Amino acid sequence: MEKYITDERTGLKYELVGDYYLIAGDDEPEQEQEPIGIWGQRHLRYLKEHRRVRYANLLTIGKLNDYLADLNEQAEAMFSQLVKLLAEKEGVTEVLKAENQMLWVQKMNNLRNTAMEIVSNELIYR
């Protein structure tokens, strides 16, 4: 008996396992999944809880991980840019850091929290 056969009518490939032919797996290796960061995880949770149909559609067509990884990249870029712009606008500089570290930390934490809120409202929870 042959190890592999192909059903010409359906195009399915079968592999001999013991005495039975079972449908063979894909010959193509699976793509490595990109890691999903904090923003992607938050959006995934949002999709599962509030946008179930969109979550199911992305999951069934196999695009969920790519979608979340792309969204995570966008969110990271937006967050970094916002922190930089807000710091310039508020006058939070390296000079302030050298002169008064605690004030610099307070202002930077405030700016980071503001940027997090903006990214969350504009990208993650939409």
Tens-place pLDDT, residues 41-95? 999 999 999 999 999 999 999 899 999 999 999 999 999 999 999 999 999 999 9
Taking only the tens place, the pLDDT of each residue in 5-24 is 998 888 888 888 888 888 88
Q: Is 90 helix (H, G, I), strand (E, B) or coil?
A: helix
| DSSP assigned state of 124 | I
Q: What order do you get walking across the sheet with 13-17 strand by strand?
A: 4-6, 13-17, 20-23
* pTM of the predicted model as reported, rounded to 2 decimal places: 0.72
Residues with Cβ within 8 Å of residue 111, at least 6 apart in sequence: 83, 86, 87, 90, 92
